[in-house]
Structure 1
């Protein structure tokens, strides 16, 4: 068995980034920029007013009580066509272009109108309430760096910078193959010795949440010929995810058949619980990850390995967001495997947030994982932990790209 961190490092070392594709701005939410995005224009494109008021020359309002002649209006999208001379002013509104010759804006609440004569109660310094051209950014400046994940604010900036199409990383294609005579699809009626396949749905949702494209290859029985056929035609697949058949039982055929089809095994068996039988190799150009069949083991392995792999291929940080909280109870000493205990968050009497391991940690009990808030990380050979001991944990809502349920 190899340590978890070594297994993660070896998996990530064998991955390259996906190529570039161009997509429309309105379809780019959540995608990752493949190239730097530079501004195609100045923003604002010319000096504009920051307030409603009057465009003036600061020299004309060096002291309060001055009166100027109103000669026109400037509104957003329709500037004043002429130039401002000495003793003149133009009515202006927020975002409107500054007239030629004007260098300040006097606030409308400080002005009194009498026909075309406007009297100003306050002095105005040059530059007051004017947004200079290029205040936000200038043509050719960096708007968004390559590797930026595009959320609503980043898309707004890309639009403002003049881009309708964006160069983004192609989404990694992850094919999911479920194996086992005991499996039926959701919605089908299982036989007396069968169960409903859930790992494919869980993995597909994770792939999509982490920026990939899931491809369901269905369920293959525990037959060598059927498995071998499933391992063909993977040219457009970046990662093959198999579920089940990764252990050492008589019917665990995935590694044997994959090897006969040309799979180069990198590593198998990790010093972790749950998820020890995880297998990683290369089948042609496709990275292959063989997940255990137990649903908790499969989901935990996906969080630890698949998330980082997809993010690395997209040029994002593959590291997991590790948090720390005190234990709500004691934990016994750990053995040589790194444990990932399902846990729930609770509030202590003093108001602090703490984490409690669920009582039963069997890897077949998926309901406990679905109801958990975190995975408590217990390093190999960790000693007993008393209540209040701060421990490492992974918040499930955070690693699954959802909003955390609790502030930490």
Structure 2
């Protein structure tokens, strides 16, 4: 029986997850959140005509003659009088334009002598003035729905006096590992045991992509231990388990969960690594049963779970950063599954990208994964690729 291909598997996932509800947050905690509605300005900016530079407010028709400086106006205050013929007012950046003035001459272009200025350079009427509402008007759209907020958006919203607004809730992602051999990081590693690296790694990956990881620890390879753990999993948006998804004598996660309500949508995908992936609904929660090997789980996570998280958060993209790069060595023909090869990409001084696959491709190898910044994607039965050929890549480190 042919394996489900990656594209069709992703469609099955995305058609069974929905956008989450929204919550109202304060602007100070908004970085990295996604807006769930349009955000409108509450004020006009600037709220008055203002000086764009330090200098002198003048009447343009007077600039050919010396002008008497009759006062000053600083930001946060206004000048009480009007400018009359032959007068100037010292003005600072951000200060309201003085009544009667129509031009600001920058201080570098004048000579000040005994309280009188002489303008030494050509001046354009209306120069160095920020017009009322030249940035935005009250009621104007500042940030559209489904925008991933960055520092620049937040500065704009603050300028519009918007302190609170609606964003999509962050997906709460339950993570559970399984395996008699696993011990918690930082504890003593006994005979025949290994450190549980998946929970810390995928907790970090969930955080990096805008989710909230909920760590349920490790279940032993017994039905009782697995049941004890999965009975605790409530009030989450995604449930991910690591290990026990294949066909070994101790790979029990699917059978135990099916007995306890799991409805499987698919099991096994035509990908390498990551073939044993399980997807379904557990108590109506999207469930991903991942392979236990870290590289296999990582490839599954970026191809399926991150896109599901992004859809829940209202993000338009699926999180996969695709590109092309030139091979620095030959690659053999592709096989019956799409292959994700851990690799490193570099860019020369002309902007041309080159990619070199790692020598060790074992799915249990941590160092290869950590030292890679991309995956080479080899389609099913892809032709042999030669040195210099363009190949598809997925960036996994955009720094």
TM (norm. structure 2) is 0.94
Conservation of the 8 A alpha-carbon contact between 2:33 and 2:148: yes
Alignment of 1:232-381 (within 5 A): 232-316=231-315, 317-345=317-345, 352-381=352-381
Note the alpha carbon deviations across 1:61-109, whole angstroms, 9 max, x for none.
3xx3x13333221111112012223333211111111012211112223
Partner of 1:387: 387
- What is the aligned length? 396
Note the alpha carbon deviations across 1:253-312, whole angstroms, 9 max, x for none.
111111112111111100000000011111123110111011110111111112111111
Partner of 2:165: 166
Structure 1 Cα separation of the partners of residues 396 and 327 of structure 2: 17
Partner of 1:80: 79
Alignment of 1:6-405 (within 5 A): 6-61=8-63, 64=64, 66-122=65-121, 124-316=123-315, 317-345=317-345, 352-398=352-398, 403=399
SS in structure 1 of the partner of residue 227 of structure 2: helix
Note the alpha carbon deviations across 1:351-407, whole angstroms, 9 max, x for none.
954212222312112221111222100000101111111001112212xxxx1xxxx
Conservation of the 8 A alpha-carbon contact between 1:235 and 1:285: no
Q: Name the CA shift for 1:381/1:159 in 2 (closer, same or farther; >3 Å).
A: same
CA shift at 1:20, angstroms?
1.4
Structure 2 Cα separation of the partners of residues 289 and 396 of structure 1: 20
Q: Name the CA shift for 1:347/1:213 in 2 (closer, same or farther; >3 Å).
A: closer
Structure 2 Cα separation of the partners of residues 5 and 357 of structure 1: 24
TM (norm. structure 1) is 0.92
SS in structure 2 of the partner of residue 397 of structure 1: coil
CA shift at 1:122, angstroms?
4.4
Q: Name the CA shift for 1:295/1:353 in 2 (closer, same or farther; >3 Å).
A: same
RMSD: 2.0
Bigger mean CA offset, 95-104 vs 112-121? 112-121
Conservation of the 8 A alpha-carbon contact between 1:264 and 1:283: yes
Bigger mean CA offset, 83-92 vs 366-375? 83-92
CA shift at 1:192, angstroms?
2.2
Conservation of the 8 A alpha-carbon contact between 1:52 and 1:94: yes
CA shift at 1:347, angstroms?
7.0
Structure 2 Cα separation of the partners of residues 358 and 247 of structure 1: 26
Bigger mean CA offset, 342-351 vs 321-330? 342-351
Q: Name the CA shift for 1:31/1:116 in 2 (closer, same or farther; >3 Å).
A: same
Task: Give the unaligned 5+ runs of structure 2.
Answer: none
Conservation of the 8 A alpha-carbon contact between 1:177 and 1:200: yes
CA shift at 1:215, angstroms?
0.7
Structure 1 Cα separation of the partners of residues 77 and 119 of structure 2: 25
Structure 2 Cα separation of the partners of residues 345 and 60 of structure 1: 63
